[in-house]
A = this chain, B = another copy of it.
Amino acid sequence: MKISEAAERSGLSIDTIRFYEKRGMLPEIHRGPDGHRRFTPYDIDWLTLLYWLRETGMPLSAIHRFTHLAKAAAGADGDAGLAERRQILLDHRDVLSKKRAMLSRCEDVLSIKLAQYGDPAEENE
């Protein structure tokens, strides 16, 4: 499929997909005879994962490392770097729970501020 559909399905913007490709953060994206990118379901899967990782704050450097490992694994030795890839995802899961704690704390701070402002919604509590 073409880039517009890939964008729609993955959640990334067209520009972002092109940007990630430039940075070598995608598997090799093949081109049609017209020179346009053609995305396979596998590519979409990859883009979708990147979407979630980025959306929740994984830095591009980590994503780059992750992609690099996956590309290497696609070669001869299928298991090379698998442990590291897994670790990257596990680490990110920890980041998520920290983020969750931040959100809760911020909600508390907002409630306090809103109460100071005499927020009607807070007065029922």
Contacts and interface: CB of A to CB of B under 8 A. Distances in A.
- Count copies of this chain in the complex: 2
Main SS at interface, chain A: helix
A113 B48 CA distance: 11
A48 B109 CA distance: 9
A4 interface: no
B113 A103 contact: no
A72 interface: no
A106 B52 CA distance: 6
Contacts of A99: 99, 103
A114 B86 contact: yes
A90 interface: yes
B117 A92 contact: no
